[in-house]
Amino acid sequence: MQKVFARPATLLETGFHFCPGCHHGIVHRLLCEELDRLSLADRAVGVPGVGCGVFLYDYIGIDTCEAPHGRATAVATGIKRVLPQQFVFTYQGDGDLGAIGTAEVIHAANRGENITVIFVNNSVYGMTGGQMAPTTLLGQRTTTSPAGRDCQNDGYPLRLTEMLAPLEGVAFAARVSLHNPAHVKKARRALQQAFETQLEKRGFSFMEFISACPTNWRLTPQQSIAHMEEQMLSVFPLGIYKDTTAGVLQKEGESANAVL
Amino acid sequence: MGKIVINQEGCKGCAYCVVACPRELIMIDQSRINNLGYNPASFKDNKDNNKAECTGCALCAEICPEVLIEVYREKRRAGDCT
């Protein structure tokens, strides 16, 4: 028999520190598969922000540069401008990119920096102990919203992909989910497009992965999958929100149905 | 037809692969505890299941967050690992 699926070469043998059922491992694998497929490992630079994804350098055999909390897109901008031949991506969570790093990502997107942003959205601050994030769903209980998020007091879930896609500097923006194997495959296809956007120097590419945080959701991994399908995907609709090769900005509902 | 090899020492027992397998060939082995302290996922041998046989579809490997599953199949298809 022939081996048809194995760990990508760029993904090191180190075991992940992630909790059982966490989707960061899948995002790491998809990144490595794409880096291998495009032979980018030798000239890729990853910029992890602060969060559970911060140990990217332990798991992926590429150059990385740590960024201060939220500033990954600013650091990546600098690296890409000084070393334009390198492939530069950031790896940020929703606490990093959606809260403290909102200003940086908006302006990097608006400048059309030729970088790729990997945004892992699990609707909670995972690493710091499960506090409410800007992306936390209404009614979701966290350590800082013990009665559930209330829009009167805490506002509404922030939709980063919808916010960034209309900016003219953004060449590619997509939101994908990882709750079952079919969606993982769709996520890989979208990630391919995001990587190719940078390689073709078309501008800023943005990938949002909807993922689970069973520990801070206080759910089992199986319950987390159900929570993603039933609660998260209605607030964060999937789809390719912008692809400059496709011509015009696709409408939310159409793209969600037609593409993903 | 096909088979999988699970690195059980890294398994954290999330059971995503158990749900993903269309032939129900993966189970959580309650009789074992691995070095991490979890009951690991275990592949049921093809011989025990006359009706269901592993096809090497790799859905379990796609969803494994720890990337611990290797998949083997008789013939390679487009998109298989290099």
Q: What is the pLDDT of residue B47?
A: 62
Kindly state the average pLDDT of the residues B38-50: 79
Q: What is the pLDDT of residue A72?
A: 96
- The ipTM (two decimal places) reads 0.92
Percent of chain A with pLDDT over 70: 94
Give the count of domains, chain A: 1
Q: Which residues does chain A have within 8 Å of residue B70's beta carbon, measured at their own beta carbons?
A: 3, 5-7
Kindly state the average pLDDT of the residues A213-232: 96
Q: In this structure, is residue A14 part of a structural domain?
A: no
Cβ neighbors of B69 (< 8 A, separation 6 or more) are A5, B4, B5, B6, B7, B17, B60, B61
A253: containing domain: 24-258
Q: Do B10 and A15 touch (CB under 8 A)?
A: yes
- The kind and range of the H/E element at B71 are strand B69-73
* DSSP calls for chain A: -EEEE---TTB-SPPP-PPTT-SHHHHHHHHHHHHHHTT-GGGEEEEE-SSGGGGHHHHBSSEE----TT-HHHHHHHHHHH-TTSEEEEEEEHHIIIIITHHHHHHHHHHT-S-EEEEEE-SSBTTTTSB--TTPPTT--BTTBTT---HHHH-----HHHHHTTSTTEEEEEEEE-SSHHHHHHHHHHHHHHHHHHHTT--EEEEEEE---HHHHT--HHHHHHHIIIIIHHHS--EEEEEGGGSSPPPHHHHHHHT-
* Chain A: closest CA distance from residue B68 (Å): 8
pLDDT tops 60 at residue A84: yes
pLDDT tops 90 at residue A258: no
Size of interface A-B (CB pairs under 8 A): 87
Q: What is the pLDDT of residue B76?
A: 81
pLDDT band at A244; cut points 50, 70, 90: confident
Q: What is the pLDDT of residue B46?
A: 60
* Chain B: closest CA distance from residue A166 (Å): 32
B13 touches chain A (CB under 8 A): yes
Q: What is the pLDDT of residue B81?
A: 75
Q: What is the pLDDT of residue A255?
A: 47
Question: What confidence tens digit (pLDDT) does each residue in A177-221 have?
Answer: 999 999 999 999 999 999 999 999 999 999 999 999 999 999 999
Q: In this structure, is residue A12 part of a structural domain?
A: no
pLDDT tops 90 at residue A4: yes
Q: What is the pLDDT of residue B51?
A: 63
The shortest CB-CB distance from A18 to any of B16, B65, B81 is to B65
Q: In what order do the strands lie in the sheet with B69-73?
A: A2-5, B69-73, B2-6
> For residues B32-49, b (16+ Cβ closer than 10 Å) or e, as one string?
eebeeebbbbbbbeeeee
Q: In this structure, is residue A11 part of a structural domain?
A: no
Cβ neighbors of A197 (< 8 A, separation 6 or more) are A116, A171, A172, A203, A205, A244
The shortest CB-CB distance from B63 to any of A1, A18, A181 is to A181
Q: Which residues does chain A have within 8 Å of residue B80's beta carbon, measured at their own beta carbons?
A: 2, 4-5
> Which pTM does this prediction carry?
0.93
Kindly state the average pLDDT of the residues B48-75: 88
Q: Which of B5, B12, B55, B80 to mutate to test the interface with A (most CBs of A within 10 A)?
A: B12
Domain CATH code at residue A159: 3.40.50.970
B53 touches chain A (CB under 8 A): no
Q: What is the pLDDT of residue A191?
A: 96
Q: Which residues does chain B have within 8 Å of residue A25's beta carbon, measured at their own beta carbons?
A: 64-67
In this structure, of A16-20, A24-28, B40-44, B78-82, the range with the lowest mean pLDDT score is B78-82
pLDDT tops 80 at residue A114: yes
B67 touches chain A (CB under 8 A): yes
Q: What is the pLDDT of residue B1?
A: 81
Annotated domain spans of chain B: 2-73
Q: How many helices (H) and strands (E) does chain B have?
A: 2, 4
Q: What is the pLDDT of residue A247?
A: 53
Q: What is the pLDDT of residue A128?
A: 92
* Chain A: closest CA distance from residue B46 (Å): 14
Instruction: Please name the fold of domain B2-73.
Output: Alpha-Beta Plaits (3.30.70)
Question: What confidence tens digit (pLDDT) does each residue in B52-65 have?
Answer: 789 999 999 999 99
Q: Which residues does chain B have within 8 Å of residue A221's beta carbon, measured at their own beta carbons?
A: 14-16
Average pLDDT for chain A: 92
Q: What is the pLDDT of residue A246?
A: 67
Q: What is the pLDDT of residue B50?
A: 60
Q: What is the pLDDT of residue B49?
A: 57
Q: Rounded CA gap, A30 and A185, in Å?
A: 9
pLDDT band at B78; cut points 50, 70, 90: confident
Q: In this structure, is residue A18 part of a structural domain?
A: no
B75 touches chain A (CB under 8 A): yes
In this structure, of A26-35, A72-81, A118-127, A250-259, the range with the lowest mean pLDDT score is A250-259
Q: Which of B21, B59, B62 to mutate to test the interface with A (most CBs of A within 10 A)?
A: B62
Q: Which residues does chain B have within 8 Å of residue A5's beta carbon, measured at their own beta carbons?
A: 58, 61-62, 69-71, 80-81
Kindly state the average pLDDT of the residues A134-157: 95
* Chain B: closest CA distance from residue A99 (Å): 26
Q: Per CB distance under 8 Å, which residues of A are interface residues toward B?
A: 1-8, 11, 15-16, 18-26, 28-29, 36, 180-181, 184-185, 214, 221-222, 225
